[in-house]
Amino acid sequence: MRPRAEPSLTLADLKPGDRVRIESIETADPAVQRLMVLGLVEGAELTFLQRSLGGDPLEVRIYGAAISLREEQASRFHVVLDGRPG
C-alpha cells in the first residue's frame, strides 16, 4: 500500500488565483472561530488573492467579500484545490 500523500494543503500554502474549498478546520484558536463567523467554514469555496508586503497577512475572497487573515490562522484551514490559473 502506498503511503498517503503529502500533508494536506492549507490556506497558507496557496498561490494568487487559486480556487479552493475548505475541507476541515482546527477550531481551537478563538481567532479561527472569528474567521468562521465570517463564513470560512467547511464546504465554503474561496479564492486566494494575494499576500501583503513581507508575505503576511493574506487576502482571500469568499462569495464576493475580501477578508484578510494572518498566516498563523490560515494554516488552520485545510483545503482542497478546485482550480489554479494558467
Partner 1 sequence: MAAPAEVAVPIERIAVHRKAVGTVAVVGNPNAGKSSVFNRLTGLRQHTANYPGVTVERRVGRGVFGGVTLDLIDLPGTYSLSPTSADEKIAVDVLFGRVAGTPRPDAILAVIDSTRLYQGLYLLQQLVALGRPMIVALTMIDAAEREGRKFDFAALEEALGGVRVLPVVATSGRGFAALNSALAQVLAAPPPREVAHWPELKSAADGLLASWRTAGSDLHRVEAERLLIDVTQVPASVSPERRAELAAARGRLFGAEPPLAVEARQRYAWVRTTLAQVESAGSGVATGRAKLVDWVNRPWPAFGFLIVLMFVVFQAVFAWATPPAELIDAGISALGVAVGSVLPEGVLASFVVDGAIAGVGSVIVFLPQILILFLFIILMEDTGYLARAAFLVDRAMRTVGLSGQSVIPLLSSFACAVPSIMATRVIPNRRDRIATILSAPFMTCSARLPVYTLLIGAFVPVQSVGLFNLQGLVMFGLYIIGIVGGIATALLLRSSVLRGENPTFILALPEFRLPNVRTVAMKLLDRARIFLRRAGTVIFLVAAVVWVLTYFPRSPAVDEARAAAAVQAAASLSGPDLEQRLGEIDNQAAADHLAQSWLGIAGQWVEPAFRPLGWDWRISAAVIAGFPAREVVVAVLGTIYAVGGEADEETLGGRLQAATHADGSPVFTLPMVLGLLLFYAWCLQCAATLAVIRRETNSWRWPIFAWAYMTALGYGGALLVYQLGSA
Q: Which residues bind partner 1 (CB under 8 A)?
A: 25, 27-28, 30-39, 41-44, 50-57, 59, 62-70, 72-73
Distance CA 21, CA 1 (A): 28
Distance CA 28, CA 51 (A): 24
Q: Cβ of residue 63: shortest distance to partner 1, in angstroms?
A: 4
Least distance from partner 1 to the Cβ atom of residue 13, Å = 18
Q: Give whichever of 31 and 80 is closer to partner 1, judged by the CB atom.
A: 31
Cα–Cα distance, 31 to 8 (Å, whole number) = 21
